[in-house]
Amino acid sequence: MTPQNAFLREPATTDTVTSTRGATVTRLARTRRGPMAAGAARARRGARAVGGAFASAGRWVRETVSPAGMLLAGIAVGGAVAGAAFGWFEAWVVAAMATVLLLVCVPFLLGAHEYRVRLELDRDRVVAGSEIRGTLDLVNDGTRPSLPGVVDIPVGRGLVEAHVPMLRGGGHHREELVIAAQRRGIIDVGPMTVSRGDPLRILRRAMSWPEVQRVHVHPVTVALPSSSAGLIRDLEGTPSNRLVDADLSFHAVRDYVVGDSQRHVHWKSTARTGKLMVRQYEESRHARIAVLLDLDLEGYSDEDEFEAAVSAAASLGVKGVTEGRDVLVAVSAALDTADRGAVQSMRSLATITPRTLLDGMSALEGGSASGPDARVVRLEAVTALVAQSFGDLSIAFLVTGSHVPLQRLRRAAVALPLGIAVVAVRCEPGAEPGVRRSDDLTVLTIGELDDLPQLLARGAVQ
């Protein structure tokens, strides 16, 4: 009888069998290969090893040798070939000079990186036009001195360089950095790379830190006054000039008309006048504000005008959020060109706090609403989607540029529900501030951002 956990040698297969007693019997198989199969297996393993070595060497060359170094190596090889083939002494001289220059740069690569790097930024949210200050701390964790190097810090699309001197073992270097945040957007700082090489930047060694810090550059905003058209709200809503038969704010009494509800009969006035009198109320508007920003760059004369519109929309949204209002900030969503504009969509920004709203405004980018490369939907489509998806609006601000004609603004206003105030804010840098009113639309023209609070303070929105 075969004992439990016994090893049986068989020439064919390898498997594991569990008996009814729970003991495991392991069979060890030996596969017999012929000399041809064994040789092919060794050749495949050798080919994989050689391929891996060449790939590693290629990566090392790309990371270590700069384009200038590649040029020198090409000159050295080309000069040697030309000198050997044609007997040109000058070619041998050029090849020797290039080779010597490459060899002189090699000692700058000796030694290992043992740095500990930390970058601290004073803040992760700034307003456009300000600066971000950072502190770069670099410590040589090794026991041997380290040669001078350069810390490359990608900042958005730019690059900040910090030069590191020679550090003894345990040495510390600190450098103050200033990052300019002139334009609205999102800036990724990092990943950092510490490189060391020769003064001519022919050869270099680098060590990277994958950490990336994100900085939101908010648009410039201005403080806005409250407005009776929807920028003020209490528990009962704000009374409007419209009279209705049922609401919370009592206004007056009037004669009874057939169809009026008997629960609104004012019995004291009825007894005094001898005829039925009913209560009349002022309609209370709950101040749900909609701020619709036009992302179609064709409506703006230049990038500065578009940034002015973003700042105006951000100012309106922040004012409502700060005062605890129900604010909707909507923009065009990305347009799928594959369906040729058949699907229209919009995107609403988070308005939980002023910070979350401004973070969303920082990431906005304009696009084209017409042509083969259309990427955003038009303002009229955004207003139609808002009217379908969001009710109980009291006021809607349409923020756009100077190239949008008045007819388009009227079409956008008509798409919104009846009974709400629609205000178009046209940004036109350098223009005189003005107000144009009609039955269904009020157009504010601002030449600079500070014109917006002045127009609202003078009662431009009613």
Q: Give 80-146 as a 3 state SS string.
A: HHHHHHHCCHHHHHHHHHHHHHHHHHHHHHCCCCCEEEEEEECCCEEECCEEEEEEEEEEECCCCCE
Backbone angles phi, psi at 89, to 5 degrees: -70, -40
User: What pLDDT is stored for residue 243 in this prediction?
Assistant: 42
Which position has the token pair 């508007």?
285
pLDDT tens for the chain, 462 residues: list them: 444 444 334 444 444 444 445 555 555 455 555 677 777 878 888 888 888 888 887 787 777 788 888 888 899 999 899 888 888 888 899 999 999 988 888 887 776 667 888 999 999 999 999 999 999 999 988 888 877 888 889 998 888 888 888 888 888 999 999 999 999 999 999 898 888 777 777 887 777 888 899 999 999 999 988 754 444 333 334 444 444 443 434 457 888 888 777 777 888 888 888 888 887 755 444 557 899 999 999 999 999 999 999 999 999 999 999 888 889 999 987 766 555 556 678 889 999 999 999 999 999 998 877 665 567 888 898 999 988 888 778 889 999 999 999 999 999 999 888 878 899 999 999 899 999 888 788 999 999 999 999 888 876 555
Cα 188 to Cα 130, 163, 181, 215, 330: the distances in Å are: 16, 21, 12, 6, 25
CB within 8 Å of 328: residues ≥ 6 apart: 288, 289, 290, 291, 348, 351, 386, 390, 393
**CATH code for 115-218?**
2.60.40.10
Threshold 0.75, pTM exceeds: no
The DSSP symbol for 262 reads: G
Distance CA 438, CA 414 (A): 12
CATH 2.60.40.10 range(s) for the chain read 115-218
Distance CA 234, CA 386 (A): 24
- Tokens linked to 164: 């590191």
The DSSP bridge partners found for residue 27 are 8
Cα 303 to Cα 188, 347, 369, 426, 450: the distances in Å are: 22, 22, 16, 14, 18
User: What pLDDT is stored for residue 362 in this prediction?
Assistant: 95
Listed residue (172, 173, 186) closest to 132, CA to CA: 186
CB within 8 Å of 352: residues ≥ 6 apart: 321
Task: Please say whether the structural domain 288-457 has been given the CATH code 3.40.50.410.
Answer: yes
Quick one: how far is CA 80 from the chain centroid?
Answer: 52
Cα 409 to Cα 22, 403, 412, 451: the distances in Å are: 82, 11, 5, 20
CATH 3.40.50.410 range(s) for the chain read 288-457
